[in-house]
């Protein structure tokens, strides 16, 4: 469907699909409500942790892109290294501030043993 057809199919009486004004009005309605509900206070430390988690996720996406674009085995491995660096950095910080327990290796080993006795796909449809 081209953009003209999309505009014609859009709700009559409302600005066109490409209208910035319509989306600005939505933002003006939604954002103050979320401010009032406390979603936008001063930055908290947890916001920084969430940003770090997003950066780990971005490295995961970089592995996917390296595979998708056939960027080579060295690039794929490099992106895995980036994941682990960011992961252990965040884990170290969370242990330091008491948000995570030390002993990650033991917990991971226990989980690996438990996973070995689980059914195929751990009983799920896919994954």
For Mg ion, the binding residues (CB under 5 A) are 59, 62, 79, 82
Give 82 or 93: the residue with its C-beta nearer to Mg ion: 82
Q: Which helix (H) or strand (E) holds 127?
A: none
| Alpha-carbon span 5 to 58, nearest angstrom | 35
Give 15 or 82: the residue with its C-beta nearer to Mg ion: 82
Q: Shortest distance, CB of residue 67 to Mg ion, whole angstroms?
A: 13
Token reading at 44: 């908290």
Give 76 or 95: the residue with its C-beta nearer to Mg ion: 76
| Of the candidates 16, 35, 38, 17, the residue with the CA atom closest to the CA atom of residue 27 | 35
Q: Shortest distance, CB of residue 99 to Mg ion, whole angstroms?
A: 25
Q: Shortest distance, CB of residue 91 to Mg ion, whole angstroms?
A: 18
Distinct helix (H) and strand (E) counts, the chain? 5, 0
């Amino acid at each position: 469907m081209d953009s003209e057809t999309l505009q014609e199919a859009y709700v009559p009486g409302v600005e066109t699909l490409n209208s910035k004004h319509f989306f600005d009005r939505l933002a003006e309605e939604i954002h103050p409500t979320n401010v009032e509900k406390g979603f936008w206070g001063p930055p908290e430390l947890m916001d920084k942790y969430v940003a770090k988690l997003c950066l780990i996720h971005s490295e995961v996406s970089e592995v996917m892109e390296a595979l998708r674009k056939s960027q080579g085995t060295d690039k794929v491995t490099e992106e895995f290294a980036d994941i682990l660096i960011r992961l252990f950095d965040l884990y170290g910080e969370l242990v330091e501030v008491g948000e995570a327990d030390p002993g990650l290796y033991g917990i991971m080993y226990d989980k690996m043993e438990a996973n070995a006795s689980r059914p195929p796909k751990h009983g799920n449809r896919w994954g």
